[in-house]
Structure 1
């Protein structure tokens, strides 16, 4: 299985989501899921936002090797599950690649969370990045449960 996280610039939310999910899956002994991230408006080969890196380091997760990637059609078609950070990202992906309609959800939609979107912390305080990471982790816990349930 392949999961693709999508945000705007691929510097904050989607790399945090990918790193968190990889870490959570590893700790649960789940190794058959490939996790990637990309952005709908990413400048290629940039590092993750420094505050994203700091917040992940506080959780024992390194994302200093992350490099931004612009979303590609083949990447979308190869993903079994595409999780966007906002409804706007979902709409943008679908407008460019409508064939993935049955594999794409916002993260919170798939996790059945109350809040509609994961807000962008870009340009805000470190505390906002910590809040964003917490929201992502909470949603990912439900995603993992859902993935486990679908395999049983």
Structure 2
């Protein structure tokens, strides 16, 4: 698995934070990472609070939103969504993606409610909490990717 796509709604909060955080965690390891939104308006910057949270964590970021399309579906080895509704939307509109789309929390084995709440329009504290939830999943993902069974995921 070398190409990971994170997906949320507008591609201005959760998925850009996940993309930047994962890129920082795996720098130099050969992973390609992008993000997109199921209802994004292309070219928008990440939200002010999302950028502030990344700055607080010392994570570099430069983001312009992208709408999920067939090109991104084809590019990715795995698609990790922020919610079950994102996952189901992708499965409905892009059936070819079904074998490679999961919620982020589902993919890394976090039991129970698999959604990462949308902080859009909320306070900075909401974005910090969202980043903590994402980081917990990304920490697990980083460990998983060290397992040889997952290195070949998407190479079939």
TM-score w.r.t. the length of structure 2 is 0.91
How many residue pairs match? The answer is: 148
Question: Mind listing any 5+ residue stretches in structure 1 that lack a counterpart?
Answer: none
Q: Is 1:36 matched with 2:37?
A: no
- 1:53–1:62 contact (8 Å) kept in structure 2: no
- 1:52 aligns with 50
Aligned pairs for 1:55-134 within 5 A: 55-63=53-61, 65-114=62-111, 115-134=113-132
Report the alpha carbon displacement of residue 105 of structure 1 after superposing the two structures with TM. 0.4
- 1:11–1:49 contact (8 Å) kept in structure 2: yes
Worse-superposed segment, 12-21 or 71-80? 71-80
- CA distance in structure 1 between the aligned counterparts of 2:57 and 2:75, rounded to whole angstroms: 30
- CA distance in structure 1 between the aligned counterparts of 2:77 and 2:143, rounded to whole angstroms: 17
RMSD: 1.2
Poorly superposed stretches of 4+, deviation over 6 Å? none
Report the alpha carbon displacement of residue 102 of structure 1 after superposing the two structures with TM. 1.1
- CA distance in structure 2 between the aligned counterparts of 1:144 and 1:132, rounded to whole angstroms: 18
